[in-house]
A and B are shown apart, each in its own frame.
Chain A
Amino acid sequence: MSFRMQIDPRSRKAARFITGVHKQLQQAYIRASARGVTQQDIAEDLGVDRSTINRRLLGGGNLTLRSLSDFAYAMDEDVEVVFRPSHHRTVGANFRIGDPVVVTLPTPTAGSTVVTGPVAGASKKSDLVGEYV
């Protein structure tokens, strides 16, 4: 039996990109801290509270392009954003089309309903994304 996580392609793209940026920010901070830079140093350089720096480093808060640039300035790092063509909106997966799937559905009264069987009407992977049976 399997549980297939339901998330639409737009959310999936945002999830991978934003968490990826936060990881790069954390890596940059680890490098900077090895050079003796502290969160307090960054906060003082940027004129914000240390708690703001801490929240952004941990994945919270609103990371704008300006705030990313400010982090790069305060940590003496460079930052760039790279766009490249995405030939396939959906390619990889750890399941095969037509595999039996268990999808749990939120229902307002009785918790959730479990449906077993191939995803109805799915002929390609993109059909599966964000759909409940």
Chain B
Amino acid sequence: MATISVLADNGDLNRVEIELDSGRQPWRCLYATPEFSEWAGSALPRLETGVMQAEITPNEQVYALFADFIEGKHFEENKRFRSLVYHPVEHVWELKTVDVRIFGWFAQMDQFVCCFGEHKDVLMDPTEVTRTYGRYILRTNFERERLNLDPPKSVEYKDYANVLSDAD
């Protein structure tokens, strides 16, 4: 068993690094599985906005979301506009942009592990049988169980206050 920092040092996880706004310092930590890193580096930049017809690309959306997360910005808890959703079955959390959904978990407060990413329109497509919400949630749980991470491997609470602290 190992800490999340050791797993990042030995390559089982990657630290997600991004440029931040002028004068901002990192407050929270983002990690990614190798599979998510692969998706974010190759598939994500090629995705286009879907039925929502957003003004910015999915890649830009994810960048903005990650920057807000790392800078410790407040995440809106209003059900209609929240960009972080808890799935109670496997203690999986979902980061949301207009077009993208990212499944993962909180290893500790302010430490999120990105496990899988997918275009929202694919998840909502009734003809898609393999790339569904339920399947990604189960796969996220499977990857977490497979990881040689010190227990408890995830924060098992549903409230933002248990998983996020704000910088401001």
Binding site for B on A (CB under 8 A): 1-7, 11-12, 14-16, 18-19, 23, 26-27, 30, 55, 57-63, 86-88, 90-95, 99, 101-107, 111-112, 125, 128-129
List the B side residues contacting A30 at CB < 8 Å.
78, 81
CB distance from A69 to the nearest CB of B (A): 17
Contact A60 B52 (CB under 8 A): yes
B66 within 8 A of A: yes
Once bound together, how far apart are the Cα atoms of A4 and B30, in whole Å? 11
Contact B42 A12 (CB under 8 A): no
List the B side residues contacting A62 at CB < 8 Å.
53, 55
Most buried by B among A4, A59, A63, A88: A59
**Contact sample, A vs B, 5 pairs, CB 8 Å cutoff:** A1-B11, A7-B19, A60-B52, A95-B15, A107-B42
Indicate whether A16 sits within 8 Å of B18 (C-beta atoms), given known contacts A61-B52, A104-B41, A104-B42: no
Indicate whether A61 sits within 8 Å of B53 (C-beta atoms), given known contacts A16-B21, A91-B22, A95-B17: yes
Of the stretches B32-40, B101-109, B147-155, the one at the interface is: B32-40
CB distance from B147 to the nearest CB of A (A): 14
Contact B56 A15 (CB under 8 A): yes
Given A1-B15, A6-B41, A7-B18, 10 additional A-B pairs, CB 8 A:
A16-B64, A55-B53, A59-B54, A60-B49, A60-B51, A63-B55, A90-B22, A92-B23, A92-B26, A107-B42
B95 within 8 A of A: no
Most buried by B among A93, A94, A128: A94
CB distance from B68 to the nearest CB of A (A): 8
B134 within 8 A of A: no
B25 within 8 A of A: yes
Contact A94 B18 (CB under 8 A): yes
The chain A residue with its CB closest to the CB of B70 is A94
List the A side residues contacting B65 at CB < 8 Å.
19
Once bound together, how far apart are the Cα atoms of A67 and B117, in whole Å? 32
| Per-position binary interface string of chain B over residues 138-161, scored 1 when its CB falls under 8 Å from any chain A CB and 0 otherwise | 000000000000000000000000
Indicate whether A15 sits within 8 Å of B16 (C-beta atoms), given known contacts A3-B37, A5-B40, A106-B41: no
